Amino acid sequence: MNQLEVALEGIGVNRPFSVEAEQAVLGAAIIDPELISVIMEQVRPEYFYVKQNRLIFNEMQALFMLNTPTDFVTVVDAVVSAKVFSDENDAKVYLSQLADTVPSLSNIMYYAKILKDKYMIRTLMETATDIIRQTQDSADADMLLESAEQKIYALRQGKDSQSLKHISDAAAKSFDRLRKLSGKDKEKYKGIPTGFRFLDDKLGRMGRSDLVIIAARPGMGKTSFALNIASNIAGKQKLPVAIFSLEMSNEQLTERILSSQAGISSNTLRTGDIQIAEWDIITNAIGQIADYPIYMDDTPNITVSDMKAKIRRLNQDPETPDVGVVIVDYIQLMSTGRRNDNRVQEISEITRNLKIMAKELDVPIIALSQLSRSAEKGTGKDSRPQLSDLRDSGSIEQDADVVLFLYRDAYYNKDEDADQTMAECIIAKNRHGESGTIPLSWDGAHTRFYDVDFTHNG
């Protein structure tokens, strides 16, 4: 008897499951193999409490991935080969019973829901027991609260991590993802585009659990670039974006977005020297950005744990779609929440936790970073940043999936004839593809980057 069962026995609680629902789901797949795609979308192997039923479902899942029908003959052959039953006759008898116990094929979705509900309650019991055990082993209240909240959130999101998973589970999910990527709604399942066409071509879009670092020296435009991406995602794709700004206030960020949207210089908005004709433009632009699903937080010294807690609460709001992208401005202003005299070690912990958060929440995190002064070591090409210029920690490079550097030659070249609009986005690291340099146009007055229009280059 394991720890959970001992605890539950002490309070007179049994682990809930429904043999009837388990058998009805398996039986439905045998009677009507066309239902298997519906079942695979709704049911996971761990939903089955009875081991034999779980093993049968595993074999059905394997048949599904091979595009083989899950009829009586194929399932019998599969379960016998996998030694789920001691002999073929036992397999035939039990599978026949499964088919006979299905009350109605039209109610398959209800049977699947019963399976999931029972599984969720069992997992919640396990999670509660684990939380109780942790409270006995630790006196750190903040750590316990974060751990408990994370476990409950993972359960709510259907991401149970209580045990090791067999590769067949991941294979089934990969197969399902590939089906969706090649289907009619494939755009919903691809990575998230930044809105910069040539950058998206190189990156293959942002992966949903990627940590993307945008690094540059102060004044190079990294906050503007991140806000441009946020506006593209929230405005064009209607995906919610969460922005954590440790340097600028929510109002300052909004004015940056407004300047880009309205085409009114940021200096004009900052000073209030607005012409009468510009008021209509500003009013229309404010109406547009007010509808963007952008959520801002300007809490100073925020920790990764605080960010996760705020995003989880936002995701739990039934009126709001889940956050699609998180932006952090910027890493060097963040805190671990603990006193640490070793800043390099602290930054390493922050970037590692940001990557973990991206994976847990299944969203790309765009984190801005300062570059060390060594990035200003020369002129011309020598001024272009390198991975070694990332400030405070080599772990930023290690933890990141993508590292982007922003570079403007005019920033270093004070020649009056220097083209102030030329900019580069240097892909210094790309875990999923190739590196390279993307040319961009920079509009400093309106804090806006643009794709270069090659069609008009002479």
Cα gap 221→216, rounded to integer Å = 8
User: For residue 75, what are the CA distances in angstroms to 23, 181, 234, 308, 429?
Assistant: 14, 28, 47, 44, 47
HSE value, Cβ hemisphere, 13 Å, CA-based, for 360 = 24
Continuous H helices in 1-50:
3-10, 19-31, 36-42
Measure CA 160 to chain center: 16
HSE value, Cβ hemisphere, 13 Å, CA-based, for 144 = 13
Q: Are 38 and 69 in contact (CB under 8 A)?
A: no
**247, 278, 397, 424: which one is catalytic?**
247
- Sign, CA dihedral 217-218-221-222, equals positive
Q: Are 311 and 242 in contact (CB under 8 A)?
A: yes
Q: How many CB atoms lie within 10 A of CB 205?
A: 17
The DSSP code sequence of 80-109 is: HHTTSSSSHHHHHHHHHHHHHT-S-GGGHH
Cα gap 12→160, rounded to integer Å = 25
The DSSP code sequence of 99-162 is: HHT-S-GGGHHHHHHHHHHHHHHHHHHHHHHHHHHHHHH---HHHHHHHHHHHHHHHHTT---S
Q: Are 334 and 303 in contact (CB under 8 A)?
A: yes
Max intra-chain CA distance, the chain: 89
Q: Are 431 and 364 in contact (CB under 8 A)?
A: no
Helices and strands (DSSP H and E) totals, the chain: 18, 9
247 is catalytic: yes
Residue type, 203: L
Catalytic sites, residue numbers: 247
